[in-house]
């Protein structure tokens, strides 16, 4: 019997890197995909270069993984970026710099899902997507928050279409996580460790095949609901 395969995008750091470690500890063969990866493949671990903003790049990744390792069981569409934005002032990134964030955060997971779905249907697998607590409420002037609203809708749309396929779909919505993307205004706020989010992902994918965990919302103890 072939060993189960777990693909993580955005795996070079933060939530993706932590989840990849936990998946390996749980016995998966793990593909750690990122834009910056130096291609290296072993028996149980694979560092793969992939730009999720490119359909061709994502499609090529899934094809290579299934061809080499025979199956894909879990795909964690985690890659994302964040820039500060404002719609009424010059604060934050210029509008010309917003496109990469929107394409990476919205088209990236959509491309990943579409490229992975044939393999996941064959394996009866699991698609997990990184949303955010910021995507559950209004954040003034925050385009990043809007991209995470989109992920919640995207996960629901994929699950609705895939309901008869056996593929499970989960969106994980963390609050503030201790990564290098923390805004300066929030450095002193309570934070989750990347491993906290990784454990939530592993919880969802470790459930029996009859259980579909659709959403997980987790915040660090002490974080206000509106943050």
Contacts of 148 (CB under 8 A, 6+ apart): 105, 131, 132, 134, 135, 173
Q: What are phi and psi of 218, to 5 degrees?
A: -140, 135
Q: Of residues 117, 144, 147, 177, which has the active-site annotation?
A: 144
Helix (H, G, I), strand (E, B) or coil at 184: helix
In what side-by-side order are the strands of the sheet with 45-49?
40-41, 45-49, 29-34, 5-9, 74-77, 126-130, 168-174, 215-218
Helix (H, G, I), strand (E, B) or coil at 88: coil
Residue with tokens 């934070």: 191
Cα Rg of the chain (Å, integer): 17
Q: Indicate if 28 belongs to the active site.
A: no
Residues of 185-217 as b/e, b for ≥16 C-beta within 10 angstroms? eeeeeebbebbbbbebbbebbeeeeeeebeebe
CA neighbours closer than 13 Å in the CB half-sphere of residue 53:
10
With contact defined as beta carbons under 8 Å apart, do 30 and 37 qualify?
Answer: no
CA distances from 193 to 3, 19, 99, 120, 190 (A): 29, 11, 28, 29, 10
Catalytic residues: 144
């Amino acid at each position: 019997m072939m060993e189960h395969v777990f693909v993580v995008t955005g795996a070079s750091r933060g939530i993706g890197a932590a989840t990849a470690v936990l998946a390996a500890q749980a016995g998966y063969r793990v593909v750690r995909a990122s834009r910056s990866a130096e291609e290296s493949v072993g028996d149980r671990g694979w560092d793969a270069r992939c730009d999720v903003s490119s359909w061709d790049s994502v499609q090529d990744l899934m094809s290579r993984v299934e061809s080499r390792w025979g199956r894909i069981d879990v795909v964690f569409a985690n890659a994302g970026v964040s820039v500060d934005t404002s719609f009424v002032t010059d604060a934050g990134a210029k509008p010309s710099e917003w496109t990469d964030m929107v394409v990476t955060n919205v088209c990236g997971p959509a491309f990943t899902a579409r490229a992975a779905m044939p393999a996941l249907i064959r394996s009866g697998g699991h698609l997990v997507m990184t949303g955010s607590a910021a995507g559950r409420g209004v954040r003034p002037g925050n385009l990043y928050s809007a991209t995470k609203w989109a992920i919640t809708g995207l996960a629901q749309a994929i699950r609705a279409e895939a309901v008869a396929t056996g593929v499970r779909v989960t969106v994980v919505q963390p609050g503030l996580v201790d990564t290098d993307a923390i805004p300066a205004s929030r450095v002193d706020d309570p934070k989750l460790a990347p491993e906290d989010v990784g454990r939530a992902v592993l919880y969802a994918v470790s459930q029996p095949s009859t259980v579909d965990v659709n959403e997980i919302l987790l915040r660090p103890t002490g974080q206000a609901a509106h943050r």
